[in-house]
Amino acid sequence: MRDTTHAQERAQQRCIPPMIDRLLDEFGEEVYDNRGGLTLYFSKRSKRQMQRVLGRNPVKKLSEFLNVYRVDSSKDGKTITRGHRYKPIKRK
């Protein structure tokens, strides 16, 4: 995993487990943020896909983490930050 120090601190402060990063890599939607970052998050479509692959109960248990997002650098791929979404992510 290629994280900046900031991203590691934010994951720890916001109690985001490493397993969520793996799920974001596999099922997350990507949106370019027009500021040099690539935002990964769980959309309705990706949540349904997770339910088909993992099953309904495991996804239900992970529901508190399904509002998590991760911002990666579009230049070198390092993770810039992580957080919890409180607003919808703007897609253009």
Say how many C-beta atoms besides its own lie within 10 A of residue 44's C-beta. 8
Interatomic CA distance for residues 75 and 9, integer angstroms: 21
Q: Is the separation of the CB atoms in 72 and 38 below 8 Å?
A: yes
Q: How far apart are CA 22 and CA 32, in angstroms?
A: 19
Q: Where are the domains of the chain?
A: 5-80
Sorting pLDDT into bands at 50, 70 and 90, what band is 92? low
Q: Is the pLDDT of residue 24 over 70?
A: yes
Report how far residue 62's alpha carbon sits from residue 36's, in angstroms, rounded to the nearest whole number. Answer: 29
Provide mean pLDDT across the span 64-90. 88
